[in-house]
Amino acid sequence: MEEIIREVIRGVPRGKVFDSHYVIQELLRREDGTDAYIVFGADYATSARPTLTAHQQIGHLIAGLRDLARRVPDTQSWSMTIHGMPGECALWQRI
């Protein structure tokens, strides 16, 4: 999963900001990403909120990619969730 997330982030131009929802949408758009997303999410199937938990874990993976992105401090993004509803999520800058 980390390598696919790396590929998604590499596709963002340096200096541009993106959010976790963007990364998740890109995973779902890509054939290899969709499979990885489902397998990754299955690890959290027993959680009370499996989608939220899996998405939080994706955020943790992004946070670990310090060579590609940094969290924009004191800021949250407002964008569409996978359910088509607006919501907050982490905002990142491609470095």
Residues 2-55: pLDDT tens digits? 999 999 999 999 999 999 999 999 999 998 999 999 999 999 999 999 999 999
**Which residue type occupies 19?**
D
Place of tokens 């909120």: 49
Q: What is the mean pLDDT of residues 70-84?
A: 95
CATH of domain 2-94: 1.10.10
Q: Which residues on neighbouring strands pair with residue 69, listed in sequence order?
A: 94
Which pLDDT does position 49 carry in this prediction? Answer: 95
Which pLDDT does position 61 carry in this prediction? Answer: 97
What whole-number distance in Å separates Cα of residue 37 and Cα of residue 40? 5
Nearest-5° Cα angle at 90, 85 to 91 = 105
Which pLDDT does position 85 carry in this prediction? Answer: 95
Pick from 92, 46, 38: nearest CA to 69: 92
Residues 48-71: pLDDT tens digits? 999 999 999 999 999 999 999 999
Angle between helices 20-29 and 31-42 (to 10 degrees): 110
